[in-house]
Amino acid sequence: LFNYAKGKYLPEGEVTAAEKLERDVVTPSEVEIWTPEEAKKILDAADPDELPFFAISMFAGIRTREITLMDWSQVRPSDDPDESHIEIKAVGSKKQAGRRIVPILPALAAYLKAIKPPKTGRIVPNVNMTPRQFRIAANAGLKWKHNASRHSYGSYRMAEIKNAFHVAEEMGNTPAIVKKHYFQAVTKAEAARFWAIRPS
Protein backbone atom coordinates (compact mmCIF):
# COMPACT_ATOMS: atom_id res chain seq x y z
CA LEU A 1 0.00 0.00 0.00
CA PHE A 2 2.86 2.36 0.86
CA ASN A 3 4.61 1.68 -2.43
CA TYR A 4 1.33 2.08 -4.32
CA ALA A 5 0.71 5.51 -2.77
CA LYS A 6 4.31 6.52 -3.38
CA GLY A 7 4.10 5.60 -7.06
CA LYS A 8 0.70 7.21 -7.58
CA TYR A 9 1.07 10.52 -5.78
CA LEU A 10 4.78 11.42 -5.39
CA PRO A 11 6.97 12.80 -8.16
CA GLU A 12 9.36 10.17 -9.47
CA GLY A 13 12.66 10.10 -7.61
CA GLU A 14 11.48 12.10 -4.60
CA VAL A 15 12.51 10.62 -1.26
CA THR A 16 9.72 10.13 1.27
CA ALA A 17 9.93 11.14 4.93
CA ALA A 18 9.82 7.47 5.92
CA GLU A 19 12.79 6.67 3.71
CA LYS A 20 14.78 9.50 5.32
CA LEU A 21 14.53 7.84 8.74
CA GLU A 22 17.69 6.07 9.91
CA ARG A 23 17.13 2.34 9.91
CA ASP A 24 17.94 0.22 12.94
CA VAL A 25 20.84 -2.12 12.40
CA VAL A 26 19.86 -5.52 13.75
CA THR A 27 22.74 -7.84 14.54
CA PRO A 28 22.33 -11.43 15.71
CA SER A 29 22.89 -11.75 19.45
CA GLU A 30 26.04 -13.63 20.36
CA VAL A 31 25.62 -16.67 22.55
CA GLU A 32 27.46 -16.72 25.86
CA ILE A 33 30.07 -19.40 26.47
CA TRP A 34 32.55 -20.34 29.16
CA THR A 35 36.24 -19.83 28.54
CA PRO A 36 38.26 -23.00 29.18
CA GLU A 37 39.39 -21.52 32.49
CA GLU A 38 35.82 -20.66 33.52
CA ALA A 39 34.58 -24.11 32.52
CA LYS A 40 37.17 -25.74 34.78
CA LYS A 41 36.14 -23.48 37.68
CA ILE A 42 32.48 -24.44 37.24
CA LEU A 43 33.30 -28.14 37.24
CA ASP A 44 35.61 -27.81 40.25
CA ALA A 45 32.90 -25.97 42.20
CA ALA A 46 30.22 -28.62 41.60
CA ASP A 47 29.27 -30.95 44.45
CA PRO A 48 29.66 -34.70 43.75
CA ASP A 49 25.93 -35.19 43.11
CA GLU A 50 25.90 -32.20 40.74
CA LEU A 51 29.05 -33.00 38.78
CA PRO A 52 27.37 -35.41 36.31
CA PHE A 53 24.92 -32.69 35.28
CA PHE A 54 27.59 -30.05 34.71
CA ALA A 55 30.03 -32.42 32.98
CA ILE A 56 27.40 -33.78 30.59
CA SER A 57 26.08 -30.31 29.84
CA MET A 58 29.58 -28.96 29.25
CA PHE A 59 31.14 -31.79 27.26
CA ALA A 60 28.11 -33.27 25.47
CA GLY A 61 26.05 -30.13 24.85
CA ILE A 62 22.84 -31.78 25.99
CA ARG A 63 19.96 -29.48 26.95
CA THR A 64 19.18 -28.96 30.64
CA ARG A 65 15.67 -30.39 30.24
CA GLU A 66 17.02 -33.46 28.47
CA ILE A 67 19.57 -34.13 31.22
CA THR A 68 16.95 -33.77 33.97
CA LEU A 69 14.89 -36.51 32.30
CA MET A 70 17.83 -38.87 31.78
CA ASP A 71 18.89 -41.83 33.87
CA TRP A 72 22.25 -43.55 34.05
CA SER A 73 21.15 -46.38 31.73
CA GLN A 74 21.37 -43.88 28.86
CA VAL A 75 25.03 -43.13 29.58
CA ARG A 76 27.11 -45.84 27.95
CA PRO A 77 30.87 -45.40 28.22
CA SER A 78 33.04 -47.92 26.42
CA ASP A 79 36.71 -48.72 25.94
CA ASP A 80 35.99 -48.31 22.24
CA PRO A 81 35.62 -44.53 21.63
CA ASP A 82 33.37 -45.19 18.64
CA GLU A 83 30.91 -47.06 20.86
CA SER A 84 31.02 -44.68 23.84
CA HIS A 85 27.83 -42.60 23.76
CA ILE A 86 24.80 -41.09 25.47
CA GLU A 87 21.34 -41.91 24.17
CA ILE A 88 18.79 -39.09 24.11
CA LYS A 89 15.33 -40.59 23.89
CA ALA A 90 12.64 -38.99 21.75
CA VAL A 91 10.36 -38.40 24.72
CA GLY A 92 13.00 -36.26 26.41
CA SER A 93 14.23 -34.34 23.39
CA LYS A 94 13.13 -30.81 22.51
CA LYS A 95 9.68 -30.91 20.90
CA GLN A 96 10.18 -34.69 20.86
CA ALA A 97 12.41 -34.24 17.81
CA GLY A 98 13.54 -37.85 17.93
CA ARG A 99 16.15 -40.13 19.38
CA ARG A 100 19.78 -39.15 18.91
CA ILE A 101 23.20 -40.43 19.90
CA VAL A 102 25.76 -38.07 21.45
CA PRO A 103 29.41 -39.18 21.65
CA ILE A 104 31.18 -39.41 24.97
CA LEU A 105 34.36 -37.51 24.13
CA PRO A 106 37.60 -37.97 26.14
CA ALA A 107 36.98 -34.97 28.43
CA LEU A 108 33.55 -36.26 29.43
CA ALA A 109 34.84 -39.83 29.70
CA ALA A 110 37.43 -38.66 32.23
CA TYR A 111 34.78 -36.96 34.37
CA LEU A 112 32.39 -39.91 34.18
CA LYS A 113 35.19 -42.20 35.31
CA ALA A 114 35.91 -39.91 38.26
CA ILE A 115 32.27 -39.93 39.41
CA LYS A 116 31.82 -42.47 42.17
CA PRO A 117 29.06 -45.10 42.12
CA PRO A 118 26.25 -45.78 42.44
CA LYS A 119 25.42 -44.70 38.92
CA THR A 120 21.78 -45.73 38.84
CA GLY A 121 18.48 -43.90 38.58
CA ARG A 122 18.16 -40.24 37.63
CA ILE A 123 21.35 -38.36 36.79
CA VAL A 124 20.39 -35.05 38.40
CA PRO A 125 19.46 -34.61 42.07
CA ASN A 126 16.69 -32.13 41.31
CA VAL A 127 14.62 -31.41 38.21
CA ASN A 128 14.96 -27.67 38.84
CA MET A 129 18.70 -27.09 38.50
CA THR A 130 18.48 -23.30 38.13
CA PRO A 131 19.22 -22.41 41.78
CA ARG A 132 22.16 -24.82 41.79
CA GLN A 133 23.54 -23.34 38.58
CA PHE A 134 23.59 -19.84 40.08
CA ARG A 135 25.10 -21.12 43.33
CA ILE A 136 27.86 -23.11 41.58
CA ALA A 137 28.78 -20.09 39.44
CA ALA A 138 28.92 -17.87 42.53
CA ASN A 139 31.09 -20.42 44.34
CA ALA A 140 33.40 -20.39 41.33
CA GLY A 141 33.58 -16.59 41.45
CA LEU A 142 31.58 -16.25 38.24
CA LYS A 143 28.22 -14.97 37.08
CA TRP A 144 25.99 -17.68 35.64
CA LYS A 145 25.54 -17.44 31.86
CA HIS A 146 22.30 -18.77 30.40
CA ASN A 147 22.87 -22.00 28.42
CA ALA A 148 26.62 -21.29 28.41
CA SER A 149 27.59 -24.93 28.92
CA ARG A 150 25.61 -26.12 25.89
CA HIS A 151 26.81 -23.14 23.83
CA SER A 152 30.38 -23.88 24.89
CA TYR A 153 30.07 -27.40 23.56
CA GLY A 154 28.72 -26.16 20.23
CA SER A 155 31.40 -23.49 19.86
CA TYR A 156 34.39 -25.63 20.82
CA ARG A 157 33.12 -28.68 18.92
CA MET A 158 32.70 -26.63 15.75
CA ALA A 159 36.22 -25.23 16.11
CA GLU A 160 37.50 -28.78 16.56
CA ILE A 161 35.79 -30.65 13.70
CA LYS A 162 34.45 -27.80 11.50
CA ASN A 163 31.39 -29.81 10.47
CA ALA A 164 28.05 -28.07 11.08
CA PHE A 165 26.02 -31.11 10.01
CA HIS A 166 27.84 -33.38 12.45
CA VAL A 167 27.54 -30.92 15.34
CA ALA A 168 23.86 -30.33 14.53
CA GLU A 169 23.16 -34.06 14.78
CA GLU A 170 24.93 -34.26 18.13
CA MET A 171 23.09 -31.25 19.55
CA GLY A 172 19.66 -31.94 18.08
CA ASN A 173 19.74 -28.70 16.11
CA THR A 174 19.70 -27.69 12.47
CA PRO A 175 22.94 -26.97 10.59
CA ALA A 176 21.69 -23.41 10.03
CA ILE A 177 21.40 -22.79 13.78
CA VAL A 178 24.82 -24.32 14.40
CA LYS A 179 26.43 -22.13 11.74
CA LYS A 180 24.65 -19.01 13.02
CA HIS A 181 25.70 -19.42 16.65
CA TYR A 182 28.89 -21.46 16.67
CA PHE A 183 30.83 -20.97 13.42
CA GLN A 184 34.13 -19.18 14.16
CA ALA A 185 32.97 -18.42 17.71
CA VAL A 186 36.32 -19.55 19.15
CA THR A 187 39.79 -20.35 17.86
CA LYS A 188 41.20 -23.82 17.40
CA ALA A 189 43.73 -23.12 20.17
CA GLU A 190 40.93 -22.19 22.58
CA ALA A 191 39.09 -25.36 21.61
CA ALA A 192 42.20 -27.43 22.32
CA ARG A 193 42.40 -25.95 25.84
CA PHE A 194 38.72 -26.65 26.45
CA TRP A 195 38.89 -30.27 25.34
CA ALA A 196 42.04 -30.79 27.43
CA ILE A 197 40.12 -30.11 30.68
CA ARG A 198 40.32 -33.02 33.12
CA PRO A 199 39.25 -33.59 36.74
CA SER A 200 41.63 -32.21 39.36
Does 20 fall in a domain? no
Does 6 fall in a domain? no
Average pLDDT over the chain reads 87
62-103 pLDDT tens trace: 999 999 999 999 999 999 999 999 999 987 555 556 799 999
Does 114 fall in a domain? yes
- Average pLDDT on 24-45 reads 82
The structural domain count of the chain equals 1
Does 7 fall in a domain? no
pLDDT confidence of 162, banded at 50, 70, 90? Answer: very high
pTM summary value: 0.82
111-156 pLDDT tens trace: 999 999 989 999 997 778 999 999 999 999 999 999 999 999 999 9
Does 151 fall in a domain? yes
Alpha-carbon separation of residue 174 from 22, 46, 103, 150, 161 (angstroms): 34, 31, 18, 15, 16
Does 4 fall in a domain? no
Does 40 fall in a domain? yes
| DSSP character at residue 45 | H
Are 194 and 124 spatial neighbours (Cβ–Cβ below 8 Å)?
A: no
CATH code of 153's domain: 1.10.443.10
pLDDT over threshold 60, residue 23? no
Show the domain range for 62.
Answer: 32-195
Does 66 fall in a domain? yes
